[in-house]
Amino acid sequence: MAAGSTAMNAIDLSQPVANILRQGTAAAHERAEHSQGAKWLARGELDKEEYVRFLMMLWHIYDAFERALEQHATHPVLAPTHNPGLFARSANIAADISYLLDVPEESWQSHPLHTTLMATPPPALTQYVGRIRELAASPDPSRLLAHAYVRYLGDLSGGQFIRRRIVKAYGLEDGAGVSFYEFRPLGGASAGTGTTMGDLKKIKEWYRNGMNAGVGDSTELKAAILDEAQLAFDYNTALFDVLNPPSTTSSSGSDVEIDSPLHSPVESTPPTPPATDLSHSSPLVKEQPKVVFEASEPPAEERLVSLSSVIALVAALSITHMVLVIGGFTGERGMVKLEAFQQWLNGLFGGNAA
């Protein structure tokens, strides 16, 4: 694809694949911030039912590529990062869906929300799952690494920010309904809120080292995985595009920059701003002539203020003349007295007397 080709032409493929993917998807990360669906998700603005629908689509995606990773667990490219006890998300997503719908975990797939989704699944979902199954059935499943990278590294990064928004938006407590975003520490027994950002950083470092070891020095393989990562970003952005807008939006209206849970190289087309109707009438009303300049008589209040200012000035001059004559403001001593009197006069008339 064009985006992937451009990225590869500008990147030194002799670097480790983790560096290549970070550099090659940087622009996609920035463009993802313009995805309207990503903004709704990151702000916690999606209606609860729509968020559950989004989780249902994610479950089908994770179920597909985690089955594929398990199928090829011993493949030399995939084996160094294969750790289902640490990364597997599909069971966690199913638990969250069941909790949010308040139904038993074994029955959520028969819920009307899911049966409606799968009756006419969005093309974005079917194409994504279809691509993963295609790779799983291919003689060389190495490109599956790109899909695992995009999803897992995103969940470990921006997904943690989204988790906090989801908890607040839907009033969740004690980690219920957000196990999708929870990871246990490396070597830890279980996941939970006790996992620190430092723990998550160690997991990401472990994963990048595993990618580098699995891919090795093959520039051809590095280019293929970068190309597949760009395709994975396309699929994820397409999922955002099928999200339904929230029934209510945040009062702040500010944009949220996402720390790349779903980087996307596809920039959504911004909505066309509505035309401003200045006439508040039918669009067939003829345009009125433009007024370039219209002079009008000042209001009565302004005329009254001007008149009072003139009277004040005349009074000030009269008082000044009287003081000069009677008070003997002459010579050097008189000039000092005159300056002090003028300062008092300015204060009395609000600085209007000169």
Kindly report the CATH number assigned to the domain that includes residue 156. 1.20.910.10
Looking at residue 277, its pLDDT comes to 33
User: With contact defined as beta carbons under 8 Å apart, do 215 and 78 qualify?
Assistant: no
**Are residues 35 and 136 both part of a single domain?**
yes
Residue-averaged pLDDT of the chain: 77
The residues annotated as belonging to the active site are 34, 62, 150-151, 154-155, 159
Name the domain count of the chain: 2
Percent of the chain with pLDDT over 70: 64
Whether 268 is in a domain gets the answer no
Residue 275 counted as domain residue: no
Q: Which residue has the tokens 């300049």?
A: 293
CB atoms within 10 A of CB 147: 26
Give me the percent of the chain exceeding a pLDDT of 90.
Answer: 58
What integer pLDDT is reported at residue 268 of this predicted model? 32
Looking at residue 223, its pLDDT comes to: 96
If one counts every other C-beta atom within 10 angstroms of the C-beta of residue 198, the result is 8
pTM above 0.85, yes or no: no
Residue from 252, 229, 264, 231 nearest 36 by CA? 264
Assess if residue 5 is contained within a domain.
no
- The whole-number pLDDT of residue 175 equals 87
Confidence bin at 96 (pLDDT 50/70/90): very high
Tell whether 278 is covered by a domain: no
Pick the last residue of a domain from 207, 223, 242: 242
Domain co-membership, 206 together with 326: no
Q: What is the mean pLDDT of residues 295-311?
A: 44
**281 or 338, higher pLDDT:** 338
pLDDT tens-digit series, residues 188-218: 666 655 689 999 999 999 999 999 999 999 9
What pLDDT is attached to residue 159? 92
* pLDDT(164) > 80: yes
pLDDT band for position 182 (cuts 50, 70, 90): very high
Residue 83 forms part of a structural domain: yes
Residue 113 inside a domain? The answer is yes
| Contact predicate 16/252, CB 8 Å | no
329 and 207, same structural domain? no
Expressed as residue numbers, the domain containing 43 is: 17-185+195-242
DSSP per-residue codes, 80-129: GG--HHHH--HHHHHHHHHHHHTS-GGGGGGSHHHHHHHHS--HHHHHHH
Closest-CA residue to 58 (of 202, 200, 166)? 166
Give the integer Cα–Cα distance in Å for 103 and 205: 37
Residue 192 has a pLDDT of 57
Q: Could you tell me if residue 262 is inside a domain?
A: no
Evaluate whether residue 142 is within a structural domain. yes
The larger pLDDT score, comparing residue 305 to residue 122, is at 122
pLDDT, position 22: 93
Q: Sorting pLDDT into bands at 50, 70 and 90, what band is 29?
A: confident
Rounded mean pLDDT, 246-274: 47
Burial class (CB in 10 A: 0-12, 13-18, 19+), 195: middle
User: Nearest Cα to 94, choosing from 116, 111, 81?
Assistant: 111
